[in-house]
């Protein structure tokens, strides 16, 4: 049951900028596909268009090869989980899960059996008689999953399902969702602004920016081969170095890395460097190479197991480097020191973009 | 004592002002409450019973009094369900959808609040009266609206128009539509979603609106007075009946009828309090 979206567009205010503009992508059958992007990128609107809660101005939505652009929500057979849980507060957990089955006139015996099966699946069989108000956030979201899955949907649509939960519960539920998907193999579309979440549990990622698809591919593709400066800076918290093409290499002051083959001599370039792709060493230790530069430590910020080092390079660009705690202790630098930065890998784009 | 309690106490004192201000304000409030609410309440029942229990009962069981009760109940029985249906539909429409004429609709709902009830009554006289726009046509077809029961019902419906809608609108707006959308994705029809999801969410607001609407429908005087014509036992509601008796210097009778309306007010307040308590359990 794949989901195919073709040239989908939706504009909320006349003359305003579109929330979704001519978006096309595919969510492969049996996989978790993430719609990843900053807030305002149109992710939720896209999900609502696929669910049938919004009507597109243009374009088509196909579920399992069937055009359901004009099909009412009720007939699409989609299971939707909202960030706000959207549980029926006046109904018990069991009644919430049974709601979709009652609507479909599933016979009582079958309905009861299915509800119990769903509650077991989300490990809430002992809380069936409680009301949503008596549950924790994580439990409520599991009820919402059980309710959505009880109707045996063709596809599962998740709108920031873990967005309202604290970090620990979010990570637990992420693991749980991964295990659930391993078992059900239900085609799933996950809207998230959390790149960690997208990279961790999905097999396919669609990066959105300002209502358009910025890049679509496997998590490894997105992470290792960003297609645009936007994706490069959005994923992985990369720093930007500005420079020019010199002798076939992207040169940022004394530092240079390999330039794209198509780059012409003298053209402006931007190099995106991830925080853990820079190795720090004591200044003047060892031989300097083309990919090293000497920078000044502006600020140090210990973050649990690693230390964030903010470096100012001679070219004026600031880069953020993440150094594991033990490595940092061995390095022994303080703010104001000069260190040597060895750029192990960078993604270079030609042109001078501003993001 | 934990330090946080100390801080709270100190803040409470710094916020409350000197004793004479506190007692002065409390005294003023009690005096006002006494003069405007307690004394009249006591007066109503004192006057009602001044000629004894039998006079009280006979004033209330007089045929014209019974007819007035029936008419009051009838107009409330029509006005309340009508305005309940309208209020639910209008508040749902306004809270959930953006459309052309939305603010005009909101203004129209508020109109009966801003128009004097006497003017409201006059509007109906101008429309349906003998000299009115539709008067000759109605006369030809032998339909009486003004100085008859239909006019009283119409006037009651008009003045109680905003109560349910106004009460429900903020409730509907505050709750959003996530649960309704969830119900739709689960396969529920629009009607089913309304009955099983929207209505349970707003039920206390509905009840609250109905109570207020009913109290106003039964107590309405101005608009009803204009269209009634005061035909005793035919077009008099309880408030009009009380006025007629009062004008005839039958004080005991007038206050007996008034005591009935006062009881209605007290019951309304008690039920209203109960609904408030149920809808916001703290």
Of B33, B48, B63, the one marking the end of a domain is: B48
Residues B121 and B219 in one domain: yes
Mean pLDDT of A33-56: 91
**Where is pLDDT greater, at A97 or B201?**
A97
Residues B62 and B38 in one domain: no
**Where is pLDDT greater, at A352 or B234?**
B234
Q: Contacts of residue B184 in chain A, CB cutoff 8 Å?
A: 52-53, 73-74
Residue A281 burial (CB count, 10 A): 14
Closest CB to A86: pick one of B178, B187, B188. Answer: B178
Mean pLDDT of A315-336: 87
Mean pLDDT of B185-189: 92
What pLDDT, on a 0 to 100 scale, did the predictor assign at position B275? 81
**Stretch among A113-127, B158-172, B225-239 having the lowest mean pLDDT:** B225-239
**Chain B residue closest in CA terms to A97:** B186
Number of domains in chain B: 2
What pLDDT, on a 0 to 100 scale, did the predictor assign at position B192? 92
Residues B39 and B72 in one domain: no
Stretch (H or E) spanning A250? strand A249-252
A264 burial type by CB count under 10 A (0-12 exposed, 13-18 middle, 19+ buried): exposed
> DSSP assignment of A194-221, as one string?
-HHHHHHH-SEEEEEETTEEEEEE-HHH
**Chain B residue closest in CA terms to A151:** B186
Minimum distance, in Å, between the CA of residue A103 and any CA atom of chain B: 6
**A15, pLDDT greater than 90:** no
**B223, pLDDT greater than 60:** yes
Minimum distance, in Å, between the CA of residue B169 and any CA atom of chain A: 20
pLDDT band per the 50, 70, 90 thresholds, residue A14: confident
Which range of A11-15, A203-207, A257-261, A326-330 scores highest in mean pLDDT? It is A203-207
Residues B58 and B24 in one domain: no
pLDDT band per the 50, 70, 90 thresholds, residue B8: low
Residues B116 and B255 in one domain: yes
β-strand partners of A324: A306
**B190, pLDDT greater than 60:** yes
Closest CB to B186: pick one of A52, A75, A99. Answer: A99
**A284, pLDDT greater than 70:** no
CATH number, position B86: 1.10.3720.10
Residues B216 and B194 in one domain: yes
Q: Between chains, do B185 and A87 touch, taking CB under 8 Å as contact? A: no
Q: Between chains, do A80 and B182 touch, taking CB under 8 Å as contact? A: yes
The answer to whether A88 contacts chain B (CB < 8 Å) is yes
Q: Is the ipTM of this complex over 0.90?
A: no
Q: Between chains, do A86 and B197 touch, taking CB under 8 Å as contact? A: no
What pLDDT digit, counting tens, does each position of B34-54 carry? Answer: 998 889 888 888 888 888 888
B271 burial type by CB count under 10 A (0-12 exposed, 13-18 middle, 19+ buried): middle
Closest CB to A80: pick one of B185, B192, B201. Answer: B185
Residues A116 and A19: their CA atoms lie apart, in Å, by: 40
Q: Contacts of residue A148 in chain B, CB cutoff 8 Å?
A: 185-186
β-strand partners of A310: A299, A320
pLDDT band per the 50, 70, 90 thresholds, residue B282: very low
Residues B215 and B154 in one domain: yes
Per-residue tokens: A165: 């939960």
- Which residues from B are below 8 Å from A when comparing CB atoms? 176, 178-179, 181-189, 192, 196-197, 200-201
**Chain B residue closest in CA terms to A76:** B185
What pLDDT, on a 0 to 100 scale, did the predictor assign at position B13? 59
What pLDDT, on a 0 to 100 scale, did the predictor assign at position A337? 85
The CATH code for residues A237-346 is 2.40.50.100
Calculate what percentage of chain B has a pLDDT beyond 90: 21
Structural domain boundaries of chain A? 3-233, 237-346
Q: Between chains, do A74 and B182 touch, taking CB under 8 Å as contact? A: no
What pLDDT digit, counting tens, does each position of A67-84 carry? Answer: 999 899 999 989 999 989
Residues B216 and B249 in one domain: yes
Residues B99 and B204 in one domain: yes
Closest CB to A103: pick one of B181, B192, B201. Answer: B192
**Stretch among A97-106, A108-117, A124-133, B244-253 having the lowest mean pLDDT:** B244-253
Residues B145 and B172 in one domain: yes
Residues B18 and B94 in one domain: no
Residue A134, CA atoms < 13 Å, CB-side half-sphere: 11
**Where is pLDDT greater, at A300 or B231?**
A300
Q: Phi and psi dihedrals of B188, rounded to 5? A: -75, 140
Q: For residue B198, what are the CA distances in angstroms to B88, B171, B172, B206?
A: 10, 11, 9, 11
Mean pLDDT of B130-158: 83
**Chain A residue closest in CA terms to B187:** A74
Task: State the best of B174, B183, B186 to mutate against chain A, taking most chain A CBs within 10 Å.
Answer: B186
Calculate what percentage of chain A has a pLDDT beyond 70: 97
pTM of the model as a whole: 0.80
Residues A8 and A206: their CA atoms lie apart, in Å, by: 14
Q: Between chains, do A151 and B182 touch, taking CB under 8 Å as contact? A: no
What pLDDT digit, counting tens, does each position of A267-282 carry? Answer: 888 889 998 888 888 8
The CATH code for residues A3-233 is 3.40.50.300
How many Cβ pairs closer than 8 A exist between chain A and B? 61
**Where is pLDDT greater, at A320 or B137?**
A320
Residues A273 and A232: their CA atoms lie apart, in Å, by: 9
**B4, pLDDT greater than 70:** no
What pLDDT, on a 0 to 100 scale, did the predictor assign at position B1? 43
Residues B94 and B31 in one domain: no
Q: Between chains, do B185 and A53 touch, taking CB under 8 Å as contact? A: yes
Calculate what percentage of chain B has a pLDDT beyond 70: 94
Q: Which domain holds residue B228?
A: 51-279
Kindly tell me the sign of the dihedral angle through the C-alpha atoms of B143, B146, B148, B149. Answer: positive
Q: Contacts of residue A87 in chain B, CB cutoff 8 Å?
A: 179, 182
**B252, pLDDT greater than 50:** yes
Output the average pLDDT for chain B: 85
Q: Contacts of residue A90 in chain B, CB cutoff 8 Å?
A: 200-201
Output the average pLDDT for chain A: 88
**A355, pLDDT greater than 90:** no
């Amino acid at each position: 049951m794949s989901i195919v979206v073709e040239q989908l567009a939706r504009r909320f205010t006349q003359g305003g900028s579109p929330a979704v503009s001519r978006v096309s992508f595919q969510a492969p059958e049996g996989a978790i596909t993430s719609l990843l992007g900053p807030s305002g990128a149109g992710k939720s609107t896209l999900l609502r268009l696929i669910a049938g809660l919004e009507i597109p101005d243009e374009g088509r939505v196909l579920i399992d090869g069937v055009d359901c652009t004009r099909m009412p929500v009720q007939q699409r057979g989609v299971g939707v989980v909202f960030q706000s849980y959207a549980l029926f507060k006046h109904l018990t957990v069991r009644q919430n899960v049974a709601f979709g089955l009652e609507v479909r006139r599933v016979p009582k015996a079958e309905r009861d059996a299915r509800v119990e099966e769903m509650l077991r699946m989300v490990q809430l069989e002992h809380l069936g008689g409680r009301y949503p108000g008596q549950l924790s956030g994580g439990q409520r979201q599991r009820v919402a999953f059980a309710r959505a899955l009880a109707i045996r949907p063709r596809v599962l649509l998740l709108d920031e399902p873990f967005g309202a939960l604290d970090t620990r519960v979010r990570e637990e539920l992420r693991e749980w969702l991964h295990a659930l998907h391993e078992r059900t193999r239900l085609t799933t579309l996950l809207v998230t602004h959390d790149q960690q979440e997208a990279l961790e549990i999905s097999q396919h990622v669609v990066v959105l920016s300002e209502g358009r698809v910025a890049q679509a591919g496997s998590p490894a593709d997105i992470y290792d081969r960003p297609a645009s400066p936007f994706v490069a800076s959005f994923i992985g918290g990369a720093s930007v170095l500005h420079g020019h093409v010199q002798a076939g290499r992207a040169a940022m002051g004394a530092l240079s890395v390999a330039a794209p083959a198509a780059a012409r001599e003298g053209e402006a370039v931007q190099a995106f460097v991830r925080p853990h792709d820079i190795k720090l060493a004591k200044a003047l230790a060892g031989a300097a190479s083309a990919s090293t530069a000497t920078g000044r430590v502006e600020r140090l910020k210990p973050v649990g197991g690693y230390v964030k080092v903010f470096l100012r390079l001679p070219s004026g660009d600031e880069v953020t480097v993440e150094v594991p705690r033990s490595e940092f202790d061995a390095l022994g630098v303080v703010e104001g020191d000069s260190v040597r930065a060895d750029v192990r890998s960078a993604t270079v784009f030609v042109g001078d973009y501003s993001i | 004592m934990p330090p946080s309690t100390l801080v709270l106490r100190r803040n409470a004192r710094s916020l409350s002002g000197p004793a004479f201000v506190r007692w002065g304000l409390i005294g003023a409030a009690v005096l006002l409450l006494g003069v405007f609410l307690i004394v009249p309440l006591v007066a109503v029942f004192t006057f009602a019973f001044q000629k004894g229990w039998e006079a009280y009962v006979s004033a209330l069981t007089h045929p014209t009094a019974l007819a007035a009760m029936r008419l009051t109940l009838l107009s409330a029985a029509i006005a309340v369900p009508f305005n309940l249906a309208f209020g639910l539909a209008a508040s749902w429409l306004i809270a959930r959808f953006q459309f052309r004429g939305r603010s005009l609709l909101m203004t129209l709902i508020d109109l009966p609040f801003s128009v004097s009830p006497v003017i409201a009554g006059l509007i109906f006289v101008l429309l349906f009266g003998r000299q009115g726009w539709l008067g000759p046509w109605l006369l030809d077809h032998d339909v009486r609206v003004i100085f008859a029961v239909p006019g009283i019902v119409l006037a009651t419906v008009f003045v109680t128009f905003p109560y349910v809608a106004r009460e429900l609108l903020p409730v509907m707006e505050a709750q959003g539509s996530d649960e309704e959308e969830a119900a739709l994705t689960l396969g529920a029809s629009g009607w089913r979603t309304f009955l099983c999801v929207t209505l349970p969410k707003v039920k206390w607001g509905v009840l609250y609106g109905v109570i207020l609407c009913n109290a106003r429908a039964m107590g309405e005087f101005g608009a009803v007075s204009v269209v009634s014509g005061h035909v005793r036992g035919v077009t008099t509601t309880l408030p009009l009946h009380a006025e007629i008796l009062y004008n005839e210097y039958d004080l005991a009778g007038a206050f007996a009828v008034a005591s009935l309306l006062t009881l209605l007010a007290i019951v309304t307040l008690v039920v209203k309090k109960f609904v408030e308590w149920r809808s916001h359990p703290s």
